[in-house]
Chain A
Amino acid sequence: MNSIVKTQGLTKQYGDVLAVDNLDLEVSEGEIFGLLGPNGAGKTTTIRMLTGQTTPTSGTATVANHDIIHQPTKAKQQIGVIPDISNIYEEMSAWDNLIFAAQLYSVPKIEREKRAKELLELFGLYERRKDRVAGFSRGMKRRLTIAAALIHKPKLLFLDEPTSGLDVQSLRMIRTLIKELNEDGVTVFLTTHHIEEADQLCQRIAIINKGKIVTVDTPERLKASMEKRQVIEVSFTASRGLEDKLKGLSCVTDVSMLGDKCRLQVDEASEAVPSLVDFARKNSLKIISINTLNPSLEEAFVKLTGLSPEVMKTEKEPVKKKED
């Protein structure tokens, strides 16, 4: 598969702060690639460098086979950019915003009007096309920002924290759209601090922390790289006083109670399950549910970065302009 994004030693320094440190990345054409990391890890700065919004301090990057430093216009013609904060013109109507976006990419007049109509209909904004964007909700502005980024049919889409701070409906719509665009051949490069989002959407993930790439792999391989520890979640007809009894089982290494469920760490799940059935019978209990849990991407992230997953649950401050 051809590389659509390739960076070598890409570095960005703001004064004494090293925002991105010697980044080597390769994104293949047609994939959904995620840059996962906490706030301040260097995700937004990476996107800003790759989209020509800020100049790298050192290193090289090619986007759609064009050097972003020496041939920025050619590279930018191939890409769509959706920033973390909607950057549409609030004083203009939804329609005028899309037409202006199309003009910047030299989309011919007839084509841009047709495309603007299609996109406004797709995003459920056609009825509000003449309204000033200032009166739109956050979700509507986000949808319009995405529509503006798609007006010229880019082959590569950069999305910076695409679902950050959105309601569930908009969030689902955007995740579905990302998948559909990818099925239509659009390469997606997204940043996120939602581990679950990266797991659900991305075919490959780069974990970034303090400006450095920690690892790049598929979500499943990242999970598989975890130690072979297995977890069983079991629920009995009664739960009181069970914790100590379960700790007495030879196959169980640790027990924690989660509501009426017991979470057991075991060496080997296939041996532990018959022991649990025996345990239930001897204690006159019935098993209501029993599940084996695989290591999560969150656990892989914690192991690789040493960070608490809580760090990732912090939303960015809704400031108007900042560098990540």
Chain B
Amino acid sequence: MIETLKENVLKAVHIAEKDAKIYFFKGPNITFGLLFPAIIYLAFSVGRTADVSLVIPGLVAMSSLFGAGAIESLALPLERAKGTFDRLLAAPISLTTIIVGKALGGFFFGIFLSIGYMVIALLLPGAAIANPLLFAFGIVLSALTFSALGVCISTPFRDVPQAMPPATLIRVAMVFLGGVFIPLSAMPGFLQLVAYLLPITYAVDMLQQATTGQIFAQALVIDAAAMILFSIIFFVIATAVLKRTLR
């Protein structure tokens, strides 16, 4: 049992390594993962006086959302179109392991980008992170959730042009509804309800608490639990959808 688990984890890591070699520096990843968060942020923050303690969590959560998801929005449909995904299907690997392996590539890319954006944000005047350990934990959980979301969104599609529009639409909508630019308290009641159904809301909240140092233990537990729960749900859906596409 432990041996099988170890074998599956190793295979998932190998899939992630392969994805890293092939996709990390592909054009669409640079555009969607690296540049897109910066462009959106600049477009909505230029001319507005934003509290620097809100800039850092917003920018990092957004880079994680776009970065972690960008790899799989590209890799999965592209491999299905090229037929290379069949190599994984014909290999002795469970569908869950394939999905986890695919998400892992995005997970590492998301962490890499989050750290990059965090460093840039820290260069702003007066910027500081009060609780770096919690911030790091927030980055890891965010990347996990958003990579699982990326796989979940891209699994049904068999080509990149099909997969990109819904993936981008969902992410942009999440940015505007998840407290990146507008604090939840400033939103109308029904939009607050929508915000609580989005994983980015919990990522932004955890990163914000780490940045300001104003820690609310109960809220942190909810943030962490929500992100883990979202990840599990996304993995389960992605595996079920993949299984369905083989019918």
Residues of A within 8 A of B (CB): 51-55, 57, 72-74, 76-77, 79, 81, 83, 85, 87-92, 96, 100-101, 103-106, 148, 320-321
Contact = CB atoms under 8 A, between A and B. Distances in A.
Interface in B86-103: 86-94
Nearest to B26: A91
B86 A76 contact: no
Contacts of A72: 92
Contact of A104 (B22, B91, B158, B247): B91
A320 B94 contact: no
A89 B11 contact: no
Contact of B82 (A73, A81, A321): A321
Interface string B77-115: 000111110111111111000000000000000000000
Given A85-B83, A91-B22, A321-B82, A53 B90 contact: yes
Given A321-B83, A321-B158, A89 B22 contact: yes
A104 B84 contact: no
A321 B86 CA distance: 10
A52 B89 contact: yes
B90 A51 contact: yes
Contacts, number: 76
B83 A77 contact: no
Interface in B203-247: 243, 246-247
B30 to A, nearest CB: 15
A86 B10 CA distance: 25
Contacts of A96: 18, 21
The interface centre, meaning the residue of B22, B81, B86, B92 with most chain A CB atoms within 10 A of its CB, is B92
A51 B91 CA distance: 9
Given A73-B92, A74-B92, A105-B91, A89 B84 contact: yes
A118 to B, nearest CB: 20
Nearest to A47: B90
27 contacts: A52-B90, A54-B247, A55-B247, A72-B92, A73-B93, A73-B94, A74-B92, A76-B91, A76-B93, A87-B82, A87-B83, A87-B87, A89-B22, A91-B21, A92-B21, A96-B18, A96-B21, A103-B10, A104-B14, A104-B87, A104-B91, A104-B92, A105-B92, A106-B11, A320-B81, A321-B81, A321-B83
- Chain B, interface size category, equals 20 to 34
B92 A100 contact: no
Contact of B14 (A52, A54, A90, A100): A100
A77 B93 CA distance: 9
The 3 closest A-B pairs by CB, nearest first: A104-B91, A76-B92, A103-B14
Contacts of A53: 86, 89-90, 246
B187 to A, nearest CB: 43
A81 B86 CA distance: 10
The interface centre, meaning the residue of A92, A105, A321 with most chain B CB atoms within 10 A of its CB, is A321
Given A53-B246, A55-B246, A96-B21, A104 B89 contact: no
Given A79-B90, A81-B86, A104-B88, 11 more contacts: A53-B86, A73-B94, A74-B92, A77-B92, A89-B22, A91-B21, A91-B22, A92-B18, A100-B14, A103-B11, A321-B81
A83 B92 contact: no
B236 to A, nearest CB: 18
A91 B93 CA distance: 22
Given A91-B22, A92-B18, A320 B93 contact: no
Contacts of A77: 92
Nearest to B94: A73
Contacts of A73: 92-94
Interface string B159-172: 00000000000000
Contacts of A101: 87, 91
The interface centre, meaning the residue of B14, B21, B84 with most chain A CB atoms within 10 A of its CB, is B84
B186 to A, nearest CB: 45
A179 to B, nearest CB: 24
Contacts of B92: 72-74, 76-77, 104-106
B18 A100 contact: yes
Contacts of A54: 246-247
Interface string B14-42: 10001001100000000000000000000
A81 B90 contact: yes
